[in-house]
Structure 1
Amino acid sequence: MSIFWQGKNCLVTGGAGFGGGHLCERLLQLGARVFVLDRVLPQCSYLQIQGIDRHLQVWVGDIRDSDFLRLNLSRFAVDTIFHLAAQPIVPSSNVLPMETLSVNAMGTYTLLEAMRRSDTVERMVFASSGAYYGMTTDDRALQESDPPLEASNIYAASKVASDCVARTYAKVYGLQVGVCRFMNTYGPGDTNFSRLVPRAIFNLLAGRGYDFGARDDGSSRLDFLHVGDMADAYLRLGESLENHSGKAFNFGTGTATSITEVAERLSILFDGERRTPLFHGAPREKAAIKYLEIERARVDLGWRPMTPLEDGLCSTLHWYAENWETLRHAF
């Protein structure tokens, strides 16, 4: 991997975000030249706290601005795009459906069209989501061939649209484009405190009640993937696109863990106390269960998750505790 990425000119859209920050860090370590495209540079991002922002170039702009994209892709001779930019907050998607669809679906189309017209871009890796599969209650690993099902939020629909257009561009125009479908990534630097892991840690460090609001009733079982394994997945697919263009790959752990259990584990890791997490969502007749079959990634890309959940939660908790003074004043 280190040889492949040395000297590459890589654009990471949404690179100022959580997953993007870790990907940028890995690319820099592997000798790539890194550019970040984002509309805003959030306070206390992983890029900023780790000092990664000093070693890359930031373009402040919008992925829906086709002229801006074409100009900068050419000017900086970008050869690889990692497309992570999105409106990623699920509850907000139902409040802002047009914005979510515009950024996530039309933004992906605009970037693909800029790539098609570019003389320098050779490959694109697109960050899709396990949300592609919709709401599931069957206890079985989801495969890449499974169809999208009805979902309870607009975010999922926007990811289905962008996932499909990315694979279609690869087929119709012969572009090297691949799709990553991820599940519930967690790790250092996630400042979306509506998500389970950062919300649990924020509550613990702030000394608040162990309350998780009304998004869930606590019965869901999900696939939790460490952000370091996520970054590795992007890189593995990116360097293999010559053989696997147009494909979608699942990246997860292949197992489902109760969100209540994850919250309880974090509480014990924090100070040894087993707190009872409070979930106020309406009780479900059948629990939501979602985890991914990852055999295609193992066989075709040589990828597998390397971070056990306990180790990942422990290191994540340690990072937030180490940076708590900075974070608590920002949020």
Structure 2
Amino acid sequence: MGKRQSTLAGLVVNKMSWAGRNVFITGHTGFKGSWLSLLLGELGAHVWGYALAPATEPALFHQAKIGETIRNHQIGDIRDIEKLQSAIVTSRADVIFHLAAQALVRPSYDNPLETWSSNLMGTVNLMEAARRAQQQSGRPMSVVAITTDKVYHNHEWVHSYRENDRLGGKDPYSASKAACELAIHSFAESFASPDRVRIASARAGNVIGGGDWAEDRIVPDMVRALSRNCPVAVRNPHASRPWQHVLDPLNGYLCLAEALLSATPDQLQHLNTFNFGPESSDHRSVGNLVTQGLRHWPGSWTDISAAQGSAPHEANLLALSIDKARHVLGWSPVWSFEKAVEATMEWYKRADEGADIPTITQAQVTRFAQDAL
């Protein structure tokens, strides 16, 4: 990666790809969307956000004061296509990152209709709104649509899933995201072209990092227990996941968007779908994650798997191959599992102690960029 004068010098191929560029983010009020908004703002991009109000309290969006740092913050539902299209047109977007979703497995069992409508039809609306906005403006546009590592038909095998493996999903969340991949592929095949809209999808592993406050996610659940001096209740300690710090896949999304922006027509055929995950050695169990976390914020944990009874199905074994991103985009993860857990627990512990959250968040971005050099 080329070096340049920026605290984010190690993150992307070329800072000039982002300085002054209009970037539209759906889901900017969420955990990953807040971190992405911060990164793009540091790179000099004009960030336009469109999302529902933050779904958690507290929320990183408020804690890190993201609304004060971006060009425009609009509350809206991606299922409202007219409002969404109007927002994209107003932004004069060069790049769209689509992150808005119902993003959790267990809540998808409680409200499958909401999950399907938000994830599938929300994605279809985004693609169609982008297509219409591009036709109206006549300016080329690149779209990176974010799905998940759970789009694959999970055989519970030790092999890492590659981008051309079969899609599937037992639970409503995973299945709806697999359906999103089909919709994205359909729009790319039907409407994408080099001088109109360029479309790719990104499948990330299990992200961790400061500022995730969602229910039924192991790190926020762990932090809530530790802050109350309670044992951490772990419902599936033997399940293996591709853990990675949130900054690593976001770095990948930026690399993918840059590739879309600069690719020749011949190169575009290789820029379709990419996995972004950790190195194979960093696929670890939930129990290992908790044990590692407790090294940085001491406490105890208890296995409650036997008490789960007929709990909703969750995958026990899941791994991603990142060979394609490494070879096509030149991307690779920066932080190891141990470093990702250390940074995550440091963020939460300092926040719990009353540290200034915008400062500690920015400090982690700077450290990540330095480690990427």
TM-score (norm 2): 0.81
Tell me the distance in 1 between the aligned counterparts of 2:176 and 2:227. 34
- 1:309 maps to a residue whose letter is F
Are the aligned partners of 2:297 and 2:349 in contact in 1 as well (CA < 8 Å)?
A: no
Of 57-66 and 42-51, more deviation after overlay is shown by 42-51
Instruction: Structure 2 unaligned segments of length 5 or more: list them.
Output: 1-13, 356-373
Tell me the distance in 2 between the aligned counterparts of 1:282 and 1:233. 38
- 2:188 maps to a residue whose letter is A
* 1:182-201 matched pairs, under 5 angstroms: 182-201=204-223
* 1:196-215 matched pairs, under 5 angstroms: 196-213=218-235
Find 2:107's aligned residue among 84, 92, 96.
92
The structural deviation recorded for 1:172 is 1.2
* 1:50-89 matched pairs, under 5 angstroms: 50-56=64-70, 57-89=72-104
1:153 corresponds to which residue?
Answer: 171
Tell me the distance in 2 between the aligned counterparts of 1:288 and 1:275. 19
* 1:1-331 matched pairs, under 5 angstroms: 1-42=14-55, 43-56=57-70, 57-118=72-133, 119=137, 120=139, 122-149=141-168, 151-174=169-192, 175-213=197-235, 216=236, 218-241=237-260, 242=263, 243-244=267-268, 247-255=272-280, 256-271=283-298, 275-279=301-305, 280-281=307-308, 288-324=316-352
Tell me the distance in 2 between the aligned counterparts of 1:251 and 1:282. 33
Are the aligned partners of 1:12 and 1:83 in contact in 2 as well (CA < 8 Å)?
A: yes
Are the aligned partners of 1:220 and 1:258 in contact in 2 as well (CA < 8 Å)?
A: yes
Are the aligned partners of 2:296 and 2:346 in contact in 1 as well (CA < 8 Å)?
A: no
Describe the shift of the 1:110–1:275 C-alpha distance in structure 2 as closer, same or farther (beyond 3 A).
closer
- 1:301 maps to a residue whose letter is L
Q: Once the two structures are superposed, what CA deviation does each residue of 1:48-91 show, in whole Å capped at 9, x if it has no partner?
A: 21223201121111111111122222222122110000011211
TM-score (norm 1): 0.91
Q: Once the two structures are superposed, what CA deviation does each residue of 1:192-218 show, in whole Å capped at 9, x if it has no partner?
A: 1311122122212221122134xx3x2
Tell me the distance in 2 between the aligned counterparts of 1:99 and 1:129. 18
**3-state DSSP class of the match of 2:248?**
helix
Tell me the distance in 1 between the aligned counterparts of 2:153 and 2:218. 19
Aligned residues: 321
The structural deviation recorded for 1:121 is 5.7
Are the aligned partners of 2:279 and 2:333 in contact in 1 as well (CA < 8 Å)?
A: no
Instruction: Structure 1 unaligned segments of length 5 or more: list them.
Output: none
**3-state DSSP class of the match of 1:269?**
coil
Tell me the distance in 2 between the aligned counterparts of 1:136 and 1:314. 31
- 1:50 maps to a residue whose letter is A
The structural deviation recorded for 1:326 is 7.1
Of 236-245 and 128-137, more deviation after overlay is shown by 236-245
Tell me the distance in 2 between the aligned counterparts of 1:303 and 1:207. 40
The structural deviation recorded for 1:268 is 2.4
The structural deviation recorded for 1:275 is 4.3
The structural deviation recorded for 1:325 is 6.3
CA RMSD of aligned residues (A): 2.2
Describe the shift of the 1:84–1:283 C-alpha distance in structure 2 as closer, same or farther (beyond 3 A).
same
Describe the shift of the 1:226–1:244 C-alpha distance in structure 2 as closer, same or farther (beyond 3 A).
farther
Tell me the distance in 1 between the aligned counterparts of 2:242 and 2:100. 22
The structural deviation recorded for 1:191 is 0.6
Runs of 4+ in 1 over 6 A off after TM superposition: none
Are the aligned partners of 1:80 and 1:121 in contact in 2 as well (CA < 8 Å)?
A: no
Identity of aligned residues (%): 28
The structural deviation recorded for 1:158 is 0.6
